Homo-oligomer: A and B are copies of this chain.
Amino acid sequence: CNYFSTYICFHFVNAFPLILLDLLPAKNGEEATMQFLLELVDILTNYVRKSFDRSTKVLDFHHPHQLLEGMEGFNLELSDQPESLEQILVDCRDTLKYGVRTGHPRFFNQLSTGLDIIGLAGEWLTSTANTNMFTYEIAPVFVLMEQLTLKKMREIIGWPSGEGDGIFSPGGAISNMYSVMIARYKYFPEVKAKGMSAAPRLVLFTSEHSHYSIKKAGAALGFGSENVVLLSTDERGRVIPADLEAKILDVKQKGYHPLFVNATAGSTVYGAFDPINEIADICEKYNMWLHVDGAWGGGLLMSRKHRHKFSGVERANSVTWNPHKMMGVPLQCSAILVREKGILAGCNSMCAGYLFQPDKQYDVSYDTGDKAIQCGRHVDIFKFWLMWKAKGTIGFEQHIDKCLDLSQYLYDKIRNREGYEMVFDGVPQHTNVCFWYIPPSLRGMEHNSKEYREKLHKVAPNIKAMMMESGTTMVGYQPQGQKVNFFRMVISNPAALQSDIDFLIDEIERLGRDL
């Protein structure tokens, strides 16, 4: 018996003897169902336990062709005939075995890391309830939780009395897409019925460091990616307001219509916060929509110490904020928040009679589905609501502050350390610490030489590949503009400690020493 099974293993001494047709809704299927679920929970809780155990690997890497060939009998192919429930449980074990432990204290690879136990509980409940957000009728509790949570988020943003609108969407890219749609609807409502030809040529502005979803939204929604103008940034990756104004004037001179500015609050690579107040001044001057993409930075709004980086956010017309990133909520959990009430419904409603009947017995203003671009919508709110209950606002604040402290620890550790070079100067605004590791063989070389740049460009990918092969830790890298590949360390993992940061640096040096 393993750890968790000590509670229950006496019930499962034999091989699992059941088949699918023994489970509910089969008559007398209760016991078999409970046994099957309990056996599964045993697998899952073991995985949870191991995910937090530093003596386990972050991943056990295999190439696609290896997994496709079938590792030790793990067969991914689907067939006409059913498998036994025993095999299903083995499949579950194998699925976890060959995956990546994103909750591991040394997993730093993405903006979303960690495994929050309350969030996990919330997701387990959500999938057990298995309902849909489109009407109060079939999701009364979840619909109300969403409304109350969105209101709370708007209060934190600083909109008076938390008034406004909003919805949870399947991710930051879709939330950002919403912002562009409603900006267009606000200024050119006739586009909804008549299409883009009813408006002048509309232009969107966003930082060259911003998330690619703004450009994707521009392409998808019919603006065209060329009508998404990229703004220059300072050395730290923050939009230069004067560049914004110059580009707006340029666009106006060409006879186009400047519609929308996206200010990034926590850019993906540098963690930069654009100066919202100065951008808001410009938006007011030119009567433009201001969106703040706080997908990554949003969590900092909950920290009294760090929320000043969002100064001016209450002047935004819309805000993207992904609790599934910095706040450690399980995927997916992203909100688009809007200052003007009713505009989401105005923009998106099509009044489908089969779903949103006006003649229900309850107050149908709670049927919020028609303001979404989706029809069915997954319940993303519950895990977040439950975490908020369990942590309180102060618990989120503590988590955010701790992650930023850890990031400062890393920055202090490496900024003057031999073999490291920072990608930009100064303390990071978010938890993003961007740096090059320079192996000894490169340290004497002329930094501007082509050879040096080519060699340095390969260092991070090489170290990362070795990291994944050894499975000890994971951290991201990428080039940016003219800058060759560098590591982007981000910390959102609640399990990470200073010793894990030390481990990462040791590991980079161990793997990169002889490059």
Contact = CB atoms under 8 A, between A and B. Distances in A.
A392 B80 contact: yes
Contact of A375 (B68, B138, B194, B212): B212
A131 B222 contact: no
Contacts of A339: none
A259 interface: no
Given A41-B38, A225-B192, A125 B64 contact: no
A246 interface: no
A237 interface: no
Interface stretch (A165-173, A418-426, A439-447, A507-515): A165-173
Max count, chain B CB within 10 A of own CB: residue among A62, A94, A117, A198 = A117
A413 interface: no
A129 interface: yes
A373 B221 CA distance: 11
A37 interface: yes
A392 B82 contact: yes
Given A144-B64, A198-B224, A353-B479, A332 B48 contact: no
A56 interface: no
B117 A37 contact: yes
A321 interface: no
Contacts of A102: 129-131, 138
Interface string A371-402: 01111111100100110111111110000000
Q: How many copies does the complex hold?
A: 2
Interface residues of A, number: 169
A350 B212 contact: yes
B395 A99 contact: no
A220 B181 contact: yes
A102 B137 CA distance: 11
Interface in A359-378: 359-363, 366, 372-378
Interface string A61-85: 1111101100000001111111101
A242 interface: no
B173 A354 contact: no
Contacts of A374: 170-171, 173-174
B48 A128 contact: yes
B25 A98 contact: no
Given A20-B395, A102-B138, A268-B354, 12 more contacts: A40-B124, A44-B124, A44-B128, A63-B363, A64-B140, A67-B140, A80-B394, A82-B394, A87-B389, A171-B378, A181-B220, A221-B222
